[in-house]
Chains A and B, each alone.
Chain A
């Protein structure tokens, strides 16, 4: 109401002023400046299940996404992450469980009533509409009566001029935000992948929703553009302050963009934590394997028993450690391992070292390039040490288990000493 007043007062100043005002209002709502409480919403998933006939794609997925959080669902293809997102959007019903947005159940609500926006992998732009019409569609549907939206006759329906002008202004404003203001008259076919992605984002932003759902929005872009758009989406998230739920199979996207990451495997959320926590403290072997590139080293307990001279209890099946846990500095503290050097890969700032133990276990190490040149390779063999605290133990079920290494007796005495100092 206040806005309308201001508009009338300032209209004489310049013909386009009403539009600017509207744009301001929009920016105000988008950028959280006004401190309105409704920019984001908390999303709660409780025991969501989904089955198609006999196959169960989702088994009891529970997750709480805080208001304003950037949550990423990551997992290999077929793990049910897209299904979960579609269920949140209301495009598919769940077989069991409840979804709450801001505390109220939305299970009975259609997509339109859930106050969510969705960005699709294929962008899902309407190919017959211009960019401007594409972005304006959500507003046209909400603000214009059905008759006014008919292809040709719609224009003749009275009393829609103001609404149409407002929509046009809003479209312009949002298009400028994602830097496609100059592309408004074009058809999607005449745009590049990145531009189409921006149109899809603009179409989501314009409605000012509390929750954004994004289904692999970057996977159709080339590698370089993906990096750029990654940054733009995170800054968009900061600017809008809305809740973002982002689905990807790309762990780099998950790690770089999100506040928290939920790793999904076989229809379950295996672990939900901050990216750093997932990397350093995975609670499941599958998570440990999925996060991190190159993949985490997983060795059998027999192998480690050989290294330490001490067998491990049956409660532990695997020992895992990150490639950067390998320490090639001579005489460093930890468990000493001797292995054959298979090959190495120069990555510029890093070098990946591919090793094989005498028992045939392959191990990957990552060291700074500067260190590689000074490395002592004798007879195709190389020695490294592992600090015990860098090791992760996993039970036969794949669940994380406490590390059974106690300093006493597990390591050779001389190494113990240097470790202690």
Chain B
């Protein structure tokens, strides 16, 4: 057999025959007309609005104004000196720093626990996934009641144990934590589903091999097999959670309106919303949106890069 293969001269050069092969080539106009609809939609729905926002951020456009003039980087310069903006940016980062680790860790914990069950896996998945399907605005109202300083069940419980009440939404130091709690609650279920998908992709034989190799404790197997193999999933979960956390708006709008006290729970999107739709300063709001977009882009870029290069094997 090997001799046969070695003696075989190999395929003849393709260039020698000018014959057209069926199915191998598609004329340019066909390709373009097939790709056309999605290109048009992409431009209309994605690229143009972004371009419009960027353009708007260089103007002094006010909502309803008849005249617009180009102001260059003035809006950005104003943002730089705007303490409300910086406070909102800082609040947002603090918020993300609370939500992401907690929701990712909780999601992983739930996934591992539920995946280890022999019975009732489906029902637990369903229960923990429910917050994802619920409307956050409606749920925010419920949470507002649950965590209420005087009538909320959470604080009534604390009081019944003789502990001091924690009034999340009227204490400027705790308000971000309270909001983060809600987002963790709603994100953990989603992350859990992603982690469970990642877990089921790990071949069972690897755990057998780990047992034979001497990894006996479940913790050992978790750190040596499960966690490294969940690397790509974890990366994805972290990035999506970060982006979701950055976009926090509804809970702030429904529960705190940026309060208590001026700006204790101001976040980027909420400030942008106020700027554009309460004070009608669209130019300035557009500039904030561009900043927001840039931050999101950085994370999207990280996802594309790190995810494909580092975590995959």
Is B213 a contact partner of A137 (Cβ separation < 8 A)?
A: yes
A297 to B157, CA, bound (A): 81
- In the complex, which of the residues B212, B215, B216, B313 contacts A128, with contact meaning CB atoms closer than 8 Å? B313
A297 to chain B: closest CB distance in Å?
A: 30
Map CB proximity to B onto A282-301 as digits: 1 under 8 Å, 0 otherwise. Answer: 00000000000000000000
Task: Kindly identify, within residues 205 to 256 of chain B, every residue whose CB is under 8 Å from any CB belonging to chain A.
Answer: 205-206, 208-209, 211-216, 220, 223-225, 228-229, 231
**How many residue pairs, one in A and one in B, have C-beta atoms under 8 Å apart?**
68
Checking A91, A137, A188 against B208 with a beta-carbon cut-off of 8 angstroms, the contacting residue is A91
The listed residue with most A CB atoms (<10 A of its CB), out of B205, B209, B313, is B209
Interface residue count for B (Cβ, 8 Å)? 20
**Chain A, 117-171, CB within 8 A of any chain B CB:** 117-118, 120-122, 124-129, 137-138, 141-142, 146, 149-151
Cβ-closest chain B residue relative to A187: B313
Residues on the B chain within 8 Å of A86, using CB? 208
B211 touches A112 (CB 8 A): yes
- Measured in the bound complex, the distance between the Cα atoms of B66 and A210 in whole Å is 89
By a CB distance below 8 angstroms, the chain A residues around B231 are 128
Would you list which residues of chain B between 161 and 178 have a CB under 8 Å from chain A? none
Question: B229 touching A127 by the CB < 8 A rule?
Answer: yes
Question: Is B1 within 8 A of A224, CB to CB?
Answer: yes
| A187–B214 alpha-carbon span in the complex (Å) | 21
B220 close to A146 (CB less than 8 A)? yes
| Cβ-defined contact, A126 with B206, below 8 A | yes
State how many angstroms separate the Cβ of A237 from the closest Cβ of chain B.
19
Q: Which residues of A contact B223 (CB under 8 A)?
A: 149-151
A193 within 8 Å of B (CB atoms): no
- Chain A residues with Cβ below 8 Å from B212 are 89, 91, 111-112, 116-118
The complex places the Cα of A29 from the Cα of B213 at a distance, in Å, of 19
Check if A225 is an interface residue, CB within 8 A of chain B. Answer: no
B203 within 8 A of A: yes
Residues of B within 8 A of A91 (CB): 208, 211-212
Q: A151-B223, A189-B313 are in contact. Are A110 and B208 (CB under 8 A)?
A: no
A112 touches B214 (CB 8 A): yes
From B209, B216, B224, A112 is in contact (CB under 8 Å) with B216
* B contact residues around A129 at 8 Å (CB): 228
Q: How far is the CB of A215 from chain B (nearest CB, A)?
A: 9
Q: Are B229 and A120 in contact (CB under 8 A)?
A: no
Question: Is B205 a contact partner of A110 (Cβ separation < 8 A)?
Answer: no
With a 10 A CB-CB cut-off, give which of B1, B203, B206 has the most chain A CB atoms: B206
Interchain CB contact under 8 A, B228 and A128: yes
CA distance in complex: A110, B214 (Å): 9
Range for the number of chain A residues in contact with chain B:
20 to 34
Most buried by B among A117, A127, A151: A127
User: Is A340 close to B, CB under 8 A?
Assistant: no
User: When chains A and B are docked, how far (Å) is the Cα of A249 from the Cα of B313?
Assistant: 31
Q: Which residue of A lies closest to B217 (CB)?
A: A146
Contact of B224 with A149 in the complex, beta carbons under 8 Å: yes
Which residues 176-234 in A have Cβ within 8 Å of B in the complex? 187-189, 203, 224
Contact B205–A124 (Cβ < 8 Å): yes
Pick from B1, B211, B213, B313 the residue with the most CB of A within 10 Å: B213
Chain B at the A interface: mostly helix, strand, loop or mixed?
A: helix
Beta-carbon contact of B208 and A118 below 8 Å: yes
Chain B, residues 9-49, CB within 8 Å of chain A (1/0): the string is 00000000000000000000000000000000000000000
A260 to chain B, nearest CB (A): 24
Q: How far is the CA of A118 from the CA of B313 in the complex (A)?
A: 24
Contact B203 A124 (CB under 8 A): yes
Minimal Cβ-Cβ distance residue in B for A120: B205
Q: Are B209 and A124 in contact (CB under 8 A)?
A: yes
Bound complex: CA of A188 vs CA of B209, how far in Å?
15
Q: A90–B208 Cα gap in the complex (Å)?
A: 10
Closest to A114 in B: B212
Q: Which residues of A contact B313 (CB under 8 A)?
A: 127-128, 187-189
Contacts of A120 in B (CB 8 A): 205, 208-209
Separation in Å of the A318 CB from the closest CB of chain B? Answer: 38
Given contacts A126-B225, A126-B228, A149-B224, contact A141 B215 (CB under 8 A): yes
Which B residues are in CB contact (< 8 Å) with A188?
313
Complex CA gap A128/B216 in Å reads: 20
B-side contacts of A122, CB under 8 Å: 203, 205
* Interchain CB contact under 8 A, B229 and A128: yes
* B219 nearest in chain A by CB position: A146
- Report the Cα distance A117→B208, complex, angstroms: 11
Nearest CB in chain B: distance from A246 CB, A: 16
When chains A and B are docked, how far (Å) is the Cα of A110 from the Cα of B206?
16
The docked-state distance in angstroms from the alpha carbon of A151 to that of B220 is: 11
Interface residues of A in 235-277 (CB under 8 A from B): none
The residues of B that contact A111 with a CB separation of less than 8 Å are 211-212, 214
Q: Which residues in window 82-113 of A have CB below 8 A to B?
A: 86, 89-91, 110-112
Closest B residue by C-beta to A203: B213
Q: Chain A contacts of B220 at CB under 8 A? A: 141, 146, 149
Bound complex: CA of A91 vs CA of B208, how far in Å?
Answer: 7
Most chain B C-beta atoms within 10 Å of own C-beta, residue among A124, A137, A138, A224? A124
Docked Cα-Cα span, A138 to B208, in Å, equals 13
Q: Kindly list chain A residues whose C-beta atoms are within 8 Å of the C-beta of B205.
A: 120-122, 124
In the bound complex, how far is the Cα of B225 from the Cα of A187, in angstroms?
15
Chain B, Cβ-Cβ closest to A130: B313
B208 adjacent to A141 (CB under 8 Å): no
State A150–B209 Cα separation when bound (angstroms): 19
Chain A hits for B216, CB < 8 A? 110, 112
Contacts of B209 in A (CB 8 A): 118, 120, 124-126
Give the complex CA separation of A4 and B220 in angstroms.
31
Min C-beta distance of A202 to chain B, whole Å: 12
Using a CB–CB distance below 8 Å, which chain B residues touch chain A? 1, 203, 205-206, 208-209, 211-216, 220, 223-225, 228-229, 231, 313
12 pairs across A/B with beta carbons < 8 Å?
A: A91-B208, A112-B213, A112-B214, A120-B205, A124-B206, A124-B208, A126-B225, A127-B313, A128-B231, A141-B213, A142-B214, A151-B228
Apart from A112-B214, A151-B223, what are 6 other A-B pairs with CB-CB below 8 Å?
A110-B211, A112-B216, A120-B209, A122-B203, A127-B229, A142-B214
Top 9 nearest A-B pairs (CB, nearest first) are: A124-B209, A141-B214, A128-B228, A124-B205, A112-B214, A111-B211, A138-B213, A118-B212, A127-B313
